[in-house]
Structure 1
Amino acid sequence: MAALYLLDTNILVHYVRGGALQQQIEQSYQLYLTPEVPLISYVTEAELRSLAIQFGWGPAKRTQLSYLLGTFRRIPIEEPQILEAYAEIDAYSVAQGFELGKNDVWIAATAHVTGAVLLTTDKDFNHLDGKFLQRIWIDPSLPISTP
């Protein structure tokens, strides 16, 4: 059975931009072909829309962004279980001395509640791996191998 993935914002930025890392991620994880449609948090959608403005993405990249947002399953954050997971993950992070960005807390809570494996190119979720979620870290500077 294929894994269910939750995509961090940075994964989708690579998908909008295209390039070698996006191709390697697709080859390894087949996000467009996996029987379990990958998930994204509504927070990720909001971050992407903001980044599109900040980065000055033109029509081609905005079209790619719209395609991605329509391809992957968006998960709302107002579910009671996600709200509770947010509180637990945020409090845990603070107690452990980690300053996790609030959007990352929402993404982590979504991964926790859905049981999806978080795909990310940053290390912000390392302290949560194995406790609240399972994450796969993809080094953005190195080629990746098939899982």
Structure 2
Amino acid sequence: MKYILDTNIFISLVRNNDFSSHFNRIYRKRNDVSFTSVVVEGELKAFAMQRKWENKRLKEVQTLLQKTVIAPIKTEEIISAYAEIDAYSQGKHPTLNLPTSARNMGKNDIWIAATASALELTLITTDKDFDHLNDVFLDVIWIDITDFSNL
């Protein structure tokens, strides 16, 4: 399986041993390839800086990122997917109808979803903000973080 990891997955991997064990058992298979967006890398660095993470945790994040393909966002396919997803989320897509009211997604989340869509990757997240995109632009695997005790 090829998948893209959302920011909250990396944070949970570093902060929660139960989650990390579960994730590694289910998603870190021999032929699986994990991707993330350069946007996630930026969010992780900002998160760590604002919380004054110690060197041990920073090294854990860096190790995880080194095992992950980091996709840039400066490709025509990703930029086009961004426009499509943003328009759809606002209920203003010219050909796709949003079955619910408009969704105000964070701009970084749109970039992450666009990267997943353009590269045909399954998005793994703990964030419900991507639900309306599932089976429309991408496949989303949502993990309920409350299932893991020590976060």
Task: Normalising by structure 2, report the TM-score.
Answer: 0.88
The 2-side partners of 1:104 and 1:62 are apart by: 23
**Structure 1 unaligned spans of 5+:** none
> Which of 35, 41, 48 is the matching residue for 1:39?
35
Runs of 4+ in 1 over 6 A off after TM superposition: none
Residue 100 of structure 2 corresponds to residue 100 of structure 1: no
The 1-side partners of 2:12 and 2:56 are apart by: 14
Question: Which amino acid in structure 1 is aligned with residue 57 of structure 2?
Answer: K
* Alignment deviations for residues 114-144 of structure 1 (CA, whole Å, 9 cap, x no partner): 111100011010000000000100000126x
Shift of 1:65: 1.1
> Which of 12, 34, 39 is the matching residue for 1:14?
12
Question: Which amino acid in structure 1 is aligned with residue 128 of structure 2?
Answer: K
> Which of 127, 132, 136 is the matching residue for 2:137?
132
The 1-side partners of 2:62 and 2:125 are apart by: 20
Question: Which amino acid in structure 1 is aligned with residue 130 of structure 2?
Answer: F
Task: Normalising by structure 1, report the TM-score.
Answer: 0.90
The 1-side partners of 2:30 and 2:130 are apart by: 24
* Alignment deviations for residues 15-41 of structure 1 (CA, whole Å, 9 cap, x no partner): 2224111211111112xx432320000
The 2-side partners of 1:115 and 1:12 are apart by: 20
Q: Percent identity, aligned pairs only?
A: 41
The 2-side partners of 1:26 and 1:36 are apart by: 11
**Aligned-partner SS, 1:38:** strand
1:80 matched residue in structure 2: 76
**Aligned-partner SS, 2:78:** helix
**Structure 2 unaligned spans of 5+:** 92-97
2:119 matched residue in structure 1: 114
RMSD of aligned Cα (Å): 1.1
Pairs aligned (count): 139
